[in-house]
Amino acid sequence: MPVFLAEHAGYCNGVRDALSMTLAQVGMGKKVSTLGPLVHNEDVQRYLESQNVSVVEAPHALGGGTVVIRTHGVTPDVLACLHGREDLEVIDATCPYVHRVQRIVHNTAQKGHDIIIYGDRQHPEVQALLGWAKGGARVLEPGKIHQEELCLSPQTVLLSQTTQRENEFLALAEMLKERCPDLKVNWTICRATVLRQEAAAKLAASVDLMIVVGDKKSSNTRKLTQVCREITKTYQITAAAEIKRDWLAGVKNVGITAGASTPHWTIKEVNEKMEEMEKMEQDQIDEKAKAETSPQEEVITSEEGETSPQDVVSADAEISPQAEDITSQGEAMSSRDEIKEYRAGDIVTGTIVMVDEEQALIDIGYKTEATLPRGEVFLDGDQSLKEQFTTGDAVDVLVLKFVEEDDKIIVSSKRLQRERRWKELEEAMEEGTNMQGLVKNVVPRGIIIDLGSGVEGFMPGSLVDVRFVPDFEQFRGETFTFKVLELNRERDKVILSRKQYLEDELEVKKRETIEKIKEGDVINGVIKRLTDFGAFVDVGNIDGLVHISEVSWQRVGHPRDVLKVGEEIPVKVLEVIPERERISLSIRQAQPDPWTVAEQEFQAEDIVKGRVTRVVNFGAFVELLPGVEGLVHISQMADFHVKHPSEIVQEGEEIEVKIIEANVEAKRISLSIKDARPAPRDFSVQSTQKEENQGVTLGDVFGDLFNNHETNDETKEE
């Protein structure tokens, strides 16, 4: 019963670094505490206790000395509290992946965007993330998503606890994308977690039984167990003593994997236990076979007399499968005895046979093992060769040179990876495909992107985004998708553009929107810009125009009088011209027509109040309801002659009018001021004149005229 260990199992780099930091402080003779259990593993905690490392659950319980922040991280408030104490030395062992997620949450919260965290609400990592979100985040727990009523805005950001399952997170992202196409998804699952789950799934598919080693409190161990149980029979244990022999009934092979906080000694004990049980089982099989064979030989001997035990197997019996295996193994061994020849520049696949601090020896089929120096391997930080490679690992290397005096071949993993990365970049530039990389550094003129395998690219500031970004620090630690614009191997030059990628994505989404929306649809949009002639509204990565005449049922002087940039509003699609990427919209037609209300409220002969909106030569327009105006003709303003309507009313004035006629279908209402409040002719001036003229004769008025006439007659006679 062969026992196999998963390729990626046990401590991750974050846990290993946290333990190293803690034990280094202990080695200096310091009083060391951890804020909460350093890792979720009782064996490790017992070991730390033996090294006088105490666990404190809350900052106020710390009595001074050195405190280590565990891999899960803490809230900014706790961090500030710890650094504010002069009696404490703070060692931050937060996992780099968790640090990155905290930065994303912090930056997103500062922008006022909605945050959704996929993870276990009570897990310390998620609790810390909620602190970095300053209360602006929701948690979706695995298995409980259907219970949540989600309201997603276009500014919603989705991310995950670092130890969640990759396929479940992807499924959630796709589901939410259907509800909110503008949803931004941040990939925050730890790469080590993904590799561990992939390796466990691969091994589970090839064995009859999986043993997952790890503490029951460990989130990533529970996820490993879920992954394996979906494929084959699986048991999760914390120690070798929990393994039961009856688990192995009918099992031909067993696989072992372990969580990120499981120590190597526990994995070793489980492996040895399985080998011991395998040996015991084999011994029992051998004894049983011996017991079954011995009587048969005696019978044959007693009955046949001259027949030997070897004669029990007939000469024409078929070769057993085991014998075939042995034969094939012998042939394979013979083929390996053939010495292969290599030249500098050859790419070779070999097997690790030995690893120490300075080099790894690789069997490549040559008469001696190839030497892979430490300097020819990409290592993360203080990672050692033993942490990178395990005996039996298959590895691709590039042949560098031969050392004839030692009959030795020098190979490189680093240069081969770098060469392959350059080829990937060249293909991406030629084909226009997208690539991804981590924002490593921010410089005055742009951003440095880590492309992996020792290759870095430069993204000029003008190519980072489609909009102006004043500070690129917010992107540090994020994974960018981009296009490759320029390559020069000799100068080690790589120019990248995220802006082109975003523009291409916007163009695709724009075309999708144009194809999706139809004339007559009522959809939601966001106001992007206001002009004298209307408003531009984003209806899905493309702007449509609302002409000023379609802004409101009321008369509008300028769109800014009734609209605000950033406001989300319903609009009706009036026209779509795909070839010109033109969309005409209406805000008012997406709202109820006020004339339908007018039909119910207003009848002929009603006296109502209204506001004068316009005064023209032939009358005045009076608003009875928002969007409903009637006309008072100049002839209906007074019962005397009116030269101009402004003699009677002014714009903005509140007046009473009588409805003469209401034609709602034609959207026309005739009004009257004089019938609403009859006003007699103003005779005040004439009355005064009459009073002043009392007692005056015609001679008093026209005397001079008659005198002049008489004088003229007399003159004429003369």
Q: Which residues are catalytic?
A: 125
- 607-616 vs 582-586, strand pairing mode: unpaired
10 Å Cβ neighbour count for 372? 26
Please name the helix (run of DSSP H) or strand (run of DSSP E) that holds residue 331, with its range, or none. Answer: helix 321-336
CA–CA separation, 147 and 134 (whole Å): 24
CA–CA separation, 346 and 352 (whole Å): 18
CA–CA separation, 46 and 42 (whole Å): 6
Around 255, how many Cα atoms within 13 Å sit in the side-chain half-sphere?
25
- Angle, vertex CA 420, rays to CA 416 and CA 424, nearest 5: 170
In the block, tokens 């965007």 appear at 113
| Eight-class DSSP state of 642 | -
In the block, tokens 């008469």 appear at 367
CA–CA separation, 108 and 478 (whole Å): 12
SS3 content of the chain, % helix, strand, coil (to 5): 40, 25, 35
CA–CA separation, 565 and 558 (whole Å): 13
**R_g over Cα of the chain:** 44
Give residues with Cβ within 8 angstroms of 65, minimum separation 6. 30, 31, 32, 33, 87, 88, 89
- The pairs formed by 649-655 with CB atoms below 8 angstroms and a separation of 24 or more are 649/612, 649/615, 649/620, 649/673, 650/612, 650/615, 651/612, 651/613, 651/614, 651/615, 652/611, 652/612, 653/611, 653/612, 654/609, 654/610, 654/611, 654/612, 655/609, 655/610, 655/611, 655/612, 655/622
Token pair, residue 645, equals 């309507």
Q: Is 587 exposed, middle or buried (0-12, 13-18, 19+ CB in 10 A)?
A: buried
Query: Nearest CA to 111 among 78, 133, 80, 79?
Result: 133
Encoded amino acid at 265, one letter = W
